[in-house]
Amino acid sequence: MDLQLSNEVAVVIGAASGLGKAISLEFAREGAKLVLVDIAPTVESVASEIQRAWKTPAWAFTADVTDYQAMQAVAAAVIFDWGRCDHVIVPAGIGSGKYGFPFWKLEPADWDRVLRVNLLGPVHAAHAFSPPMIAARQGTFLFFTSIAGQIGSQTDPPYSAAKAAVINFAQCAAKDLAPYNVRVNAISPGMIQTPLNRSVWQAWYDQQPEDQRQSYDEWAGEKARRVAPLGRWQTPQDIAAVAVFLASRRAENITGQTINVDGGQVMHA
Domain borders along the chain are 9-261
Predicted local confidence at residue 148, as pLDDT: 86
Residues labelled catalytic: 159
- Rounded to 10 degrees, the C-alpha dihedral 142/147/148/150 comes to 90
Task: Identify each DSSP E strand in 52-172 by its residue range.
Answer: 58-62, 87-90, 139-144
CB 94 within 8 A of CB 118: yes
Predicted local confidence at residue 2, as pLDDT: 81
CB 112 within 8 A of CB 37: no
Q: Residue 89: CB partners within 8 Å, gap ≥ 6?
A: 10, 11, 12, 13, 20, 23, 27, 141, 142, 243, 247
* pLDDT one digit per residue (tens) for the chain, 269 residues: 689 999 999 999 999 999 999 999 999 999 999 999 999 999 999 999 999 999 899 999 999 999 999 999 999 999 999 999 999 999 999 988 787 778 888 899 999 999 999 999 999 999 999 999 999 999 999 999 998 899 877 888 999 999 999 999 999 999 999 999 999 999 999 888 777 677 777 877 888 888 889 987 888 778 778 888 998 889 999 999 999 999 999 999 999 999 999 999 888 76
Predicted local confidence at residue 57, as pLDDT: 95
**Residue type, position 250, single letter:** R
- The residue among 10, 16, 25 whose CA lies nearest residue 239 is 25
> In the chain, what is the straight-line distance between the N-terminal and C-terminal CA atoms, in Å?
31
Phi-psi region of 6 (alpha: psi -120 to 50; beta: other; left: phi over 0): beta
Distance CA 255, CA 141 (A): 9
Distance CA 262, CA 223 (A): 13
> In what helix (H) or strand (E) does residue 259 lie, and over which residues does it extend?
strand 258-261
**Residue type, position 239, single letter:** I
Structurally, at CATH architecture level, domain 9-261 sits in 3-Layer(aba) Sandwich (3.40)
Predicted local confidence at residue 203, as pLDDT: 76
Distance CA 6, CA 229 (A): 36
**Residue type, position 204, single letter:** W
CB 34 within 8 A of CB 24: yes
Predicted local confidence at residue 218, as pLDDT: 84
